Structure 1
């Protein structure tokens, strides 16, 4: 006979068994003893039902977490397989135009796998936090802490209500309280301005050396609070990231950068505009996916856009974010590394990830040239090494002409800084939508309408016209003029 497991029983079975034993005891046993035994049996049945229900919930939760873990393992395995497939695909002898759609599809698949992994991680985290809250609540209910009795002073002659003062005002210094209040008001103003989309973009040119010809622009964000107040990134980025508005700000900046890229696409010289994303966006594959959809909407202007990424972020990207970057690169987006603190690069790997520019501060490059230890090769050969991988080294924060001469000595072909031009606001007409061109049929109709009427007179053909009479001059006259 199979052994019965108590844990496999339904919680209702314990309650039914308890009530049945209690009823049988009341019916069979005489007197008050029967009532006591019946009530005790019913109580034990209810307690057993509650214990079985609690155990069942715990087991179901453990099974759910185990299933989530198994799905995460399978997703990781599939991500590895997709990565291996992409590497094998790169080794196939195919033309770049034929391989680009398949590469984009593989990158999108990798990104989707990463997004599913993030969602599962969020579900597991939420379940764990729910369990922790339940355990804390049960602990408080099991061990309630006695509340101290409040002594209320009562005067029989006159009892006036007393308004309690806020604890923060009594415990904090007045200067600190005023500072916190001002910070909260400023944060509210920043949030309101961002919600209204009061974002401005200033452009600083990136020039080629030594001609100082403009090759591109960097879009620097500003936040307009009112007509007289314009905040720099250092004054509002911290508040924006703390309030979770980083992806919203990045979407606004990207939309404006694409409008500038559309304007630059109509000009000769292959100019580009670069923009930055916040740390919150780079750490969220969901935010990157939203920005990828914006890029797909403005796909015709991607060729004039460069997205800058900090070197630290680039080296710590998750597989899902790497997949999204690969999809953007396959779609034509170029990337630039900025905030560089380490000059050791692999040009082939950077080029495969879509990196076309490396931006390092001029002070860092000069310090390395004077004996730094941030590069494996001479700093004068760094620009040449990157150029072999179709990557341009840009010296930013160039402040004066002697620093420009130092950059030329190091062989750096691109520069950016106040010595060339400070950031300047963009003209409003750049963001205006282009006017639709007139239809060819309408243009031809207008030309026909405005053309003069043809003359009815017959014009003599040039071949049939009489040639002009040639006047002959004696040779003596010509000789006399020549010797005069």
Structure 2
């Protein structure tokens, strides 16, 4: 006979056994002893059921955590295999056109693996927080009640002078400042909720001709007719409220509308836009923006997405996979907010970077020996050109600085000396009107009949006059 394991019994078995023993005791034992033994058996059965429930819950929780750990290990293994597969594809003797679909698929798979890893990490964190809260509640319930503390009044205690009260309220100036800050935060949140976002464009020109090659979309927030906020005045508030991805989606949609308009012009013009730090740090937000880009795939060729150098160096594998998928679909990137010149053109090109925007002051500081870099400022443009990357000098303020950039071989420039940011015309964001079908010209209307307009009927046409034929022609026909 097989041995019965108590741990394999369901939790309800203990309660049923306790109630059965209690009922049997009440039937067999006499008097009040039967009631006492029955109640005791039922209570023990319920306690055993509760203990089995707790044990089963703990065992299931341990199995869940073990399963989560195993899945995370498998995801990491699959990520390593995908990376190795990408390297093998790079080593295969195939053209870039044939390898692009495979790389795009691998990048998408890498992004999906990263998203699954993030979700598993969130589940494990939630379970840990739940266990901590349960432990705190159990500790409070298990703590012995504290005895009330009796106030002991000393006999003949010496009288002391009353201590001055400490002011715990804020001063009127601090209260007014806090109230003004709250009102400003409310105005910013309301303006963003109402979509009062404006995009101003600053041109990016080619040197030395100063011919416009592209534009940078700079976001502004309109509070009212006279108040227009710059990014440094509202970005911190928006990121604290968690509205960064929402703002980025609005800016990206408008940048794509501008790209659609530029696509109708000649010269290969483009528009660039920036994302907030919250978006770059969230693979979910990047995936949402990637879906917007897929929806407007026809205008991607006229769009460039700018990314800070600090963010580029700290991207997670999931975000890198999404960037790779965007690059394979035709999205170009620009590296901005460059703080040092340690740049690898081959690595940047593989990530889809086609522009590097360096402040003109940093280039001048390195050229004058005030900054330490791995490469001379005069050689940076040629160094990046080997990887098909254009060097852009931004924040160019005056004409002498333009001359310095030309001496350093910089091919593109951006700054107030060329043009300050200007608002976009509303018709740029309007949807293009569908072309009307070309129809055949309508026939000219016939003149009205005489009997309809009460004119006299026209005279009958005269018979045609007989045509005289020379005698030679008649003779030629008769003898033919």
TM-score range, shorter chain: 0.7 to 0.9
Unaligned stretches of 5+ in structure 1? 150-168, 450-484
Change (3 A) 1:374 1:391: farther
Aligned runs of 1:43-442 on 2, under 5 Å? Answer: 43-143=43-143, 171-372=169-370, 374-439=372-437, 441-442=438-439
> Partners of 1:205 and 1:8 in 2: how far apart?
74
Q: Is the 8 A contact 2:341 2:375 kept in 1?
A: no
- Determine the structure 2 residue equivalent to 1:42: 42
Q: SS of 2:392's equivalent?
A: strand
Change (3 A) 1:7 1:85: same
TM-score normalized by the length of structure 2 = 0.83
Change (3 A) 1:94 1:425: same
Q: Deviations over 1:251-281 (max 9, x none)?
A: 1101111111111112221111100001111
Q: SS of 2:338's equivalent?
A: coil
Q: Deviations over 1:436-459 (max 9, x none)?
A: 2343x43xx24998xxxxxxxxxx
> Partners of 1:98 and 1:57 in 2: how far apart?
53
> Partners of 1:312 and 1:208 in 2: how far apart?
26
Q: SS of 1:317's equivalent?
A: coil
> Partners of 1:297 and 1:25 in 2: how far apart?
75
Change (3 A) 1:146 1:359: farther
Which of these two proteins has the greater Rg computed from alpha carbons? 2
Shift of 1:7: 3.2
Unaligned stretches of 5+ in structure 2? 150-166, 445-480
Q: CA RMSD in A?
A: 2.5
> Partners of 1:313 and 1:368 in 2: how far apart?
23
Q: SS of 2:217's equivalent?
A: strand
Shift of 1:172: 3.0
Q: Is the 8 A contact 1:344 1:374 kept in 2?
A: no
Q: SS of 1:411's equivalent?
A: coil
Shift of 1:30: 4.5
Q: SS of 2:393's equivalent?
A: strand
Change (3 A) 1:118 1:448: farther
> Partners of 1:221 and 1:117 in 2: how far apart?
33
Change (3 A) 1:267 1:145: farther
Q: Deviations over 1:347-373 (max 9, x none)?
A: 111101100011111122222223355
Q: Is the 8 A contact 1:393 1:413 kept in 2?
A: yes
Q: Deviations over 1:410-437 (max 9, x none)?
A: 2211111111111111111111222223
> Partners of 2:290 and 2:145 in 1: how far apart?
53
> Partners of 1:266 and 1:82 in 2: how far apart?
40
> Partners of 1:246 and 1:447 in 2: how far apart?
57
TM-score normalized by the length of structure 1 = 0.83
> Partners of 2:145 and 2:382 in 1: how far apart?
72
